[in-house]
Amino acid sequence: MAFAADVPQREVQGGHGIVLPPPPATEAKPVTDNVAGHTLTDSYRWLEDQNSPETRAWIDAQMGYTAQYLSQVKIRPEMVKRLTELHHVEVVGIPVERNDTYFYTKRLPDENQASIYIRKGLHGNDERLIDATKLSEDQNTSVHINDISKDASLLVYGVREGGADEETVHFLAVADRKDLADVLPKARYQGVSLSPDKQGLYYAKYQPEGTLVYYHHIGSAVDSDQLVFGKEYKGEQFGQMELISSHVTENGNYLLISVSHGVPAKRVDIYAKDLRQPESELREMIHGIDSRFTPVNYGDDLYVLTDYNAENYRVIKVSMADPTEAKWQIIVPESKDAISGITIAGGKLFVTGLHDVVTQTRIFDLNGKQVATISYPTLGSASEVRGRQDSNHSFYTFESFNIPPVVYHYDVASGKAEIFAKPNVPFKSDAYEVRQIFYNSKDGTRVPMFISSKKGLKRDGSTPTLMFAYGGFLIPMTAHWDPEFAWWMEQGGFYAQPNLRGGGEYGEAWHKAGMFEKKQNVFDDFFAAAEYLIQNKYTSQPRLAIRGRSNGGLLMGAALTQRPDLFGAVWVGYPLLDMIRFQKFLVGRWWTSEYGSADNPDQFPYLIKYSPYQNVKPGTKYPAIMLNTGDSDTRVAPLHARKMTAELQADDASNRPVLLHYETKAGHSAGVSIQQLVNDTADELAFLWNETSK
């Protein structure tokens, strides 16, 4: 393809003496649209076609240009070596107990993927069931546990290629270690559960017309699977905006189906089918209420986590025999701290939540009397407690920015916790500290932020600082371990993580404060965090590196377009950037319940005001920028990063690098090989560190 020479022919200056030629020129082919009564011109619409020869040639040119930069970063080989040491350790997932047999994932230090193992008895020997390292030559195929029969004789597992959301579903007879002939084809599945008699499988499958729930009889053809739910229920139509999941309850008595309207859901409906009576129909348990409901079945009751009349969430009990609202019982009332999850193990109700973004877990009896709490080692985050309802063996993980994830076994009867699996990571946790501060945002809102570093690190404004944030979809950003952050701190840098509005740190009110027309609050919270770090001498503008991915990639796009003066380098991962067209691609329509849609004349004005792609201004001096995406991202369309790269390279008036890091075998979800993860992380760190360190 012939590229038009419309990019200023200037030499690009990177950090530490890196010199690059001008970026590859991108031909502008303006397309004009009328959106909500407004005329908009898109110069790089042609880059939306991912598979056209022109786009592939453009990607190749951009990858070559980025490689020119990375080849000049002298510290990168050291990064690869150290990241390899931090990643290549034994990692064990939380076990699932069935019939005194424990199923879990484990990756050995020299392996690129985690395999599925079993252990007979809590302290038995490990036996590998599924060897993920042998599933693909490039080691980019991962496995995970979907379900296990109650007697531990049948395993259902998923196989995912690269970082795609789609998977294939397989069945393994555990005793003879042989796969059954049945395979569910590659698709986006939600809720895969064996029937109590092990003769079949219930699963929810996303399709372009909407999510459908099927029953697959083992041994029969997939195309003959029975439709159980979807399309409509008693005249109510379900389409693309309804995400449906299903699961068989632990006692095997019920099939529960949840219908989530939007992502995140603004309304969740719960249906149940009594599997003890094959001819019984699905019944409404909770329906038609504009709130979220997450059910856990116990006996013939549902324990439900909900924000209905409780923005910080509460737990109610619903009788499945008579689920009318008037009969609901409050088990755990709402409090000032948000509840994030509930589980039942060993006959006890475990309620996990956050107090100023730090995990707290309370334990109740099933009538709502608090009987205990779980104490955690230090400032950090823990997973929900997972275990069987009829067993005292339960498990959880704990981690922090300076503590790799440890799996604990928790005895429900005695209340004692012991380490089940601890990775031997070559990192001196005691040499680092994690602190939490609070700062005021633009409108005076008090916002928390974690800051981690070597103990006693001086603040003189010259320290490279890496800041990561998200701010959306009710997702809290807790203290978690990441070798990338560990490497940064080892070099003598600060790592900062502010907890922006839009997340779930303080319940639904905190979330709503960063949605729709209030999305600017998220960006303002982020800018205020950066200003705090600079004003308090943690760092300075040239030394401040920022990163975010997905919705956090949108945050990065807003940061570089609204405050290009505030940051030294920006990494924009798997981003949403064209907020006028995002809903037209892949599963983007789901997120209109968070952002709104430019197709709505009432929502267009605030979207166009912050949409990063439409707010790149010619002649602006932008910081150093690396955009990151991959062909296998089947969630956020890679076209966002492609178009934004072209726009920035054409309009940037600084001589800083604007790079596209594009992987042909990488996507939104986890699952790539450890070696590729190391290489990709080294590329990101090479860019951020090189552009912000002296």
Q: Annotated catalytic sites, by residue?
A: 550, 668
Instruction: 296-302: list long-range contacts, CB under 8 Å, 24+ apart.
Output: 296/342, 296/343, 296/344, 297/249, 297/250, 297/251, 297/253, 297/254, 297/256, 298/251, 298/344, 298/366, 298/389, 299/251, 300/253, 302/270, 302/272
3-class DSSP string for 21-45:
CCCCCCCCCCEEEEECCEEEEECCH
Instruction: Return d(Cα 251, Cα 276) in angstroms, integer.
Output: 11
| CA nearest to 157, candidates 140, 182, 176 | 182
Structure tokens belonging to residue 571: 């990494």
Residue with tokens 């709502």: 368
- How far is it, in rounded angstroms, from Cα 212 to Cα 245? 9
Could you tell me which of 693, 688, 683 has the C-alpha nearest to residue 70? 683
Residues whose CB is less than 8 angstroms from the CB of residue 555 and which lie 6 or more positions away in sequence, other chains included: 469, 470, 471, 472, 500, 522, 523, 526, 548
3-state SS class at 558: helix
The residue among 641, 675, 670 whose CA lies nearest residue 658 is 641
CA distance 252 to 365: 22
Q: Kindly tell me the sign of the dihedral angle through the C-alpha atoms of 443, 446, 452, 454.
A: positive
Full strand arrangement of the beta sheet holding 178-194: 141-148, 154-161, 167-173, 178-194, 200-207, 210-217, 226-229
